[in-house]
Structures are given as structure tokens and as C-alpha cells.
Amino acid sequence: MQELALWQPELDLYLREMLRLEGRSMFGAGMQCNCGRIFANNELNCQHHCCDCLTPELLCEDCMNDRHAYTPFHRLEVWNGHFFEQQSLEDTGLVLELGSHTKEKLCVMSELAPLETLTVIHTNGIHKITVRYCACNLAVHCRKQLLRAQLWPATVTNPQTAVTFDCLEQFQMLNLMTKTSGTEFYETLECLTDNTGMRVPPVSFLKS
Ligand SMILES: [Zn+2]
Ligand SMILES: [Zn+2]
Ligand SMILES: [Zn+2]
């Protein structure tokens, strides 16, 4: 009770700081991106913010993709001149390299390997990401490539949807500890993705 009494006079401060996160805080026009690019006054849709990285900084598309090469399920937003709009790392052109490859060591057949869109169910929502399967002499079946990236393919043939191992573990714990059902868990993830229900990527294996 004493802690609550101490906190009450600070309520405005907490609210102001939360509202500050809704805007660009100190990263407005004229600020410099990590790559040296300076954001011009009239330049819109170029200042990206990550809701999952613990920094309020705004970055250009390229710097955002560099930062998230191995965290493709972070949720982005882009400043449209008035407010932040929801965005994804698929929108900014991020490609997740599968197989034994990385962004720095691309598959030697990368130009022949087609880019594919994958729907991924993760702990913070449902995402569409772009992946590139390995197609060189090191290549294994696409199911194995997904499993080695800690992505559980939803179907055996031509998987278009996968669930992260983290997400499966979270569901298992919630199910054991609080008896959360699969439907309840999935509907929570839908709300985390978009609470209006307007932009939730369809996932056919659960709801056909
Ligand atoms: Zn940059
Ligand atoms: Zn991030
Ligand atoms: Zn390869």
C-alpha cells in the first residue's frame, strides 16, 4: 500500500513516458540514421521503428534489415508524417537465409533459389516472412531446413506455414499450467497480431 502511495504522484510522469513512445521522441526530421543518412523534413515512410528492440531509435530500411537478419519476427512501424503505421520486416525486404547459410555467407546458388513467403506463428503474433531455401550441394529437404532454423513446418508437403519452437514451448507451458486450449492460444496470437482482426495473415491448417 505504501508503494502505491509513493507511485500515485508519479502517475503523470508514467503516462507522459508511455505517450512519448507513440511518437518519434527525439528522433525527428534532421536526425541521422546509423548509416549516416540524414532524414529530410519532407521525407515520409523512411523512418522505421522496431516495437520489439529495446531502443526508441529510428532507422532507414537497410539498417533495419541489417539489425534483424536473425530476428525476423520483430514488429516494425513506419512514420507516415502523422503517426506510426504497422509494418513488417517482409515489407522492408528482409530475407531469412535457410540451410547452413547466413546473410554474410549466402548460398552459392542463391540467384537460382526462389524467394518464398512463409507464414510463421510466433509468441508475439503471426508473421509473413520471406525465406530463401538453400539450393546448392549442401541442400537438404525444405522441411529439414525449416526444422534446423527452429521452425516447425505445419504440413509435410510444400510447407507454407511454420510455428517457432519458442511458440510451441510457450503453448505447452500455458496448457500445462493454466489449461489454455489450442484455440484460445491461437486467438490470443491473432489479437496480438492485429486487435482489429483486419490484417491477420490466414493460416489454413487451423482454420480452413
Ligand atoms: Zn540507415
Ligand atoms: Zn527489433
Ligand atoms: Zn546452399
Do the Cβ atoms of 131 and 99 come closer than 8 Å?
no
Q: Are residues 82 and 101 located together in one domain of the fold?
A: no
Domain endpoint, select from 87, 105, 124: 87
Residues 32 and 120 occupy one common structural domain:
no
Whole-Å CA distances, 192 to 130, 173, 186, 197? 21, 19, 10, 10
The reply to whether 207 falls in a domain is no
Q: So what's the pLDDT on residue 207?
A: 47
50 CA distance to ligand 2 middle (Å): 5
Do 74 and 161 sit in the same domain of this protein?
no
- Which helix (H) or strand (E) covers residue 186, if one does? helix 182-193
The CA 50 to ligand 1 mean position distance, Å, reads 14
Which residues constitute the domain of residue 131? 95-193
pLDDT single digits (tens) 119-137: 999 999 999 999 999 999 9
Distance 140 CA to ligand 3 centre (A): 9
How many distinct structural domains can be found in the chain?
2
pLDDT in tens, 43-75: 777 899 999 999 888 999 999 999 999 999 999
Residue 208 resides in a domain:
no
Ligand nearest to C-alpha 63: 1
Q: What is the ipTM of this complex?
A: 0.93
Q: pLDDT tens digits for 145-198? A: 999 999 999 999 999 999 999 999 999 999 999 999 999 999 999 999 998 877
Domain membership of residue 170 (yes or no) is yes
Q: How far is the CA of 136 from the centre of ligand 2 (A)?
A: 30
Number of Cβ within a 10 Å radius of residue 110: 17
Position 189 in a domain? yes
131 and 186, same domain (yes or no): yes
Q: Which ligand is nearest to the CA of 58?
A: 1
CA 105 – ligand 3 centroid, Å? 9
The reply to whether 76 and 138 lie within a common domain is: no
E-strand spans in 54-94? 76-79, 84-87
Residue 3: how many CB atoms within 10 A of its CB? 7
Q: Which ligand is nearest to the CA of 31?
A: 1
Ligand nearest to the CA of 39: 1
Residue 3 within a domain: no
- Cα-to-centroid distance, 94 and ligand 2 (Å): 12
Core vs surface per residue 177-201: b (16+ CB within 10 A) or e: eeebeeeebeeebbeebeeeeeebb
* In a domain? residue 22: yes
Q: Is residue 24 part of a domain?
A: yes
Spatial separation of the C-alpha atoms in residues 183 and 181, rounded to whole Å: 5
